[in-house]
A = this chain, B = another copy of it.
Amino acid sequence: MLHPTRDQIDLVDVMAAIGHPVRAEIVRRLAASGQEEFCGSILPGVPKSTLTNHWRVLRESGVICQRPEGRKLYIRLRREDLDERFPGLLDLIVLEGSRAPSP
């Protein structure tokens, strides 16, 4: 399970990853939680097969870390990496989420 290093994270990839309503909502929930979450608990209403694709897009772009533990998968927002590389970007997403209704 590959994760880009902090320096490999590409802004265009990050924007493409977050530029989807379900993935934007995942980012907002992980930002609000501030900690690692069990992947099944983040958006319980969305089918697992749909989420699997979203986890991959978010991971490969460097937005999240995935950590398998037994048969479970844990997800964490790469907040420090993103804040260091693209200051203010996550804040915009979180702020905008509190303005607009959730999908």
Interface of chain A, helix or strand or loop or mixed?
helix
Contact (A11, B92) CB under 8 Å given A16-B20, A19-B17:
yes
Are B12 and A20 touching (Cβ within 8 A)? yes
Interface size on A, residues (CB 8 A): 21
Which residues of chain B come closer than 8 Å to A20, judged between CB atoms?
12, 16
A73 contacts B by Cβ under 8 Å: no
Q: Which chain B positions have C-beta within 8 A of A11?
A: 24, 92-93, 96
Task: Give residues 13-54 of A contacting B (CB, 8 Å).
Answer: 13-21, 24
A87 proximity list for chain B (CB < 8 A): 88, 92
Of the candidates B12, B16, B92, the one whose C-beta lies within 8 Å of that of A89 is B92
